[in-house]
Amino acid sequence: MTDYRPACVVWELTLACNLKCLHCGSTAGGRRAAELTPEEALKLCADMARAGTRGVALMGGEPFLRKDFFAIASKVRELGMELSVITNGTIFSDEIFAGLKELSPRAVAVSLDAADPALHDRIRGVPGSFEKSGRFIDRCLAEGLPVSVITTVHKLNIKELPKLRDALKGRGIAWQVQTAGAEGGRFKKEFLLTPEEFYSVGLFVEACRREFSPEELPVIGAHDLGYHSLLLKNVSLYETWDGCQAGKAVAGVRSDGGVLGCLAINDDRFLEGNVRERSFYDIWNDPAGFAYTRGYKKEQAGANCAGCEHADTCGGGCNEMSLMKTGELHNDPYCFHRLEKELFKDELANPLKRAALKLRGAAPAALFRRLGRMFYGGRGNEDKHRMRL
Ligand code: SF4
Ligand code: SF4
C-alpha cells in the first residue's frame, strides 16, 4: 500500500458525445469498443472508495449519454466521495436537474469556448450548442447548483476571453481557464498558442484575480498555467506548485477501464492497468505504479528544464503539455518561469530592475501593451478594456 491518496479521480464515463469539438483531446464521438458495464462501473466506485478517493469527476465524451449516469453518480455520493460533473451542457431535462440537485454535487462544470455564439458553435462542431449550454447554465443557477465554466483557449478564441469575463462576472459562476493541447484528431497544431499568447493568458487570469473579488468572478488557471513566475502569483488554484500530481493525488479512468495518472495524457504507453484485470485499489497501490511522478528525480528533467533551480520540486511542469509539445515528460516548454527569462531579459539582467519587478509585480509597460494587443487586436482598444495589473 502506498502513502498516496487520490484527491480526485477523473472518470470518462463514456467516449460517446453529441458534439464534435475541435480541441477534444480524446476525439470523442462514438463509444469505446468495450465500455464498462453498469455492474463493473459500480464495482469501480467501491474500489475507488476503498483506495481512499476524496472526489470523483464524471465526464465524457458526454456523461449524460450514459443511461446509468445517475446510478453511478448516486453510488459515488453514497460511498462518501465528493462528486463533480463535467458536461457540454446540451443534454438536459427536468429529471436531469432534479437528479443533480439530489446529488449535492461539488461542481457542475460546463464548457464554454466563446461569448460569440457562432464561434462557440464552430469550435463545438454543432450549430445551436451555445444556446443550449447557455440555457443549461441558467437553469443550474436557478436551481441553486454550483456552476463552473471551463474555457479551453487556443488561437481561435483567445480574443474571446475579455468578452467571456464580462459575460460571467457577477453571476456566481466559477471560471476555469485552460489552454488547448493538440492530442485530438480534429485539432490542427497551428491553432496552438504561441509562447507569448500563452503568457498573455496567464497575465489575463492574473489581472482578473487582482481586479475582481472571488465573489464577483472566481477565476482560476488550470494545471497547465504555471510555474514559479516572478510576476503571475495568482493564476493557479494552488499556492505552491509541487509538480504534476498524476498518480500522486489524481488519476484518470477511461470508459473501457484503463487507468492513467491523468486522463489528459492521451497515450497508451502511460496506462497503468485495467480495472477489469486488477482493481483500481490494486493499481493505485502498486509500488511500481506511476513511476514517472512518484519516482521522479531532477536528473530526469528534459532540456527545457535541465539546470532550472526549481527542477527538483517542479518536476518539469505539466506532463501532458510536455509530452504533447516535446514528446518527453518533465520538459514543459510553456512555463511562466522559463518564458519570463526571455520576456524580461533586460530587467532580470539588472539587479535593481529585477528587484523592482519582484516588488511591484508589474510588467514593463511596453511588454504589457504588446501582450494586451493579443486580446484587443489593435491600437486604441487596449485602453478601453485595459487589464489592470
Ligand atoms: S523551467 Fe521546467 S522545472 Fe523550471 S519552473 Fe519551468 S517547468 Fe518547472
Ligand atoms: S499531466 Fe498536467 S493536467 Fe495532468 S495531473 Fe499532471 S499537471 Fe495536471
Q: What is the pLDDT of residue 373?
A: 61
Q: Is the CB of 305 under 6 A from ligand 1?
A: yes
Which cell goes with 90?
446540451
Q: Is the CB of 319 under 6 A from ligand 2?
A: yes
Q: Is the CB of 330 under 6 A from ligand 2?
A: no
Question: What ligand 2 atom has the least distance to the C-alpha of 317?
Answer: 7
**What share of the chain has pLDDT > 70, as a percent?**
92
Q: Which ligand is nearest to the CA of 261?
A: 2
Q: What is the pLDDT of residue 366?
A: 61
Higher pLDDT: 58 or 389? It is: 58
* Nearest alpha carbon, ligand 2 atom 5: 246
* CA-closest candidate to residue 6, choices 170, 195, 250, 353: 250
- Could you list the beta-strand ranges (E) of 225-299: 250-253, 258-260, 273-274
* Nearest alpha carbon, ligand 2 atom 6: 244
Question: What ligand 1 atom has the least distance to the C-alpha of 228?
Answer: 5
**Is the pLDDT reported for residue 173 higher than 90?**
yes
The average pLDDT across 152-179 equals 96
**Is the pLDDT reported for residue 376 higher than 70?**
no
Q: How far is the CA of 246 from the centre of ligand 1 (A)?
A: 17
The average pLDDT across 265-272 equals 94
**Is the pLDDT reported for residue 129 higher than 90?**
yes
The average pLDDT across 351-362 equals 68
**Is the pLDDT reported for residue 30 higher than 50?**
yes
Which cell goes with 12?
470518462
**Is the pLDDT reported for residue 209 higher than 50?**
yes
- Determine the Cα angle at 36 with ends 35 and 42, to 5°: 155
Q: Is the CB of 323 under 6 A from ligand 2?
A: no
* Nearest alpha carbon, ligand 1 atom 1: 305
| Burial class of residue 172 in the structure, from the number of CB atoms within 10 Å of its CB (0-12 exposed, 13-18 middle, 19+ buried) | middle
What value does the mean pLDDT of the chain take? 90
pTM of the entire structure? 0.91
Q: How far is the CA of 292 from the centre of ligand 1 (A)?
A: 16
Q: Is the CB of 343 under 6 A from ligand 2?
A: no
Q: Which ligand is nearest to the CA of 270?
A: 2
Q: Are strands 258-260 and 273-274 parallel, antiparallel or unpaired?
A: antiparallel
Residue type for position 237? L
The average pLDDT across 90-96 equals 96
Q: Which ligand is nearest to the CA of 264?
A: 2
Q: How far is the CA of 303 from the centre of ligand 1 (A)?
A: 10
Per DSSP, 174 falls in state E
Count CB atoms within 10 A of the CB of residue 371: 21
Cβ within 8 Å of residue 94, ≥6 positions away: none
Q: How far is the CA of 338 from the centre of ligand 1 (A)?
A: 6
Q: Which ligand is nearest to the CA of 298?
A: 1
Query: 326-345 pLDDT, tens per residue?
Result: 999 999 999 999 999 988 88
The average pLDDT across 105-119 equals 97
Q: How far is the CA of 211 from the centre of ligand 1 (A)?
A: 28
Using 50, 70 and 90 to split pLDDT, how confident is the model at 301?
Answer: very high
Using 50, 70 and 90 to split pLDDT, how confident is the model at 358?
Answer: low
Cβ within 8 Å of residue 235, ≥6 positions away: 202, 205, 206, 209, 220, 221, 225, 226, 229, 336
Q: Is the CB of 320 under 6 A from ligand 2?
A: yes
* Nearest alpha carbon, ligand 2 atom 3: 223
Q: Is the CB of 62 under 6 A from ligand 1?
A: no
Backbone dihedral region for residue 52 (phi beyond 0: left; psi -120 to 50: alpha; all else: beta): left
* CA-closest candidate to residue 328, choices 319, 337, 317, 315: 319
Q: What is the pLDDT of residue 386?
A: 46
Q: Which ligand is nearest to the CA of 317?
A: 1
Using 50, 70 and 90 to split pLDDT, how confident is the model at 378?
Answer: very low
**Is the pLDDT reported for residue 283 higher than 90?**
yes
Q: Would you say 127 and 118 are in contact if contact means Cβ atoms under 8 Å apart?
A: no
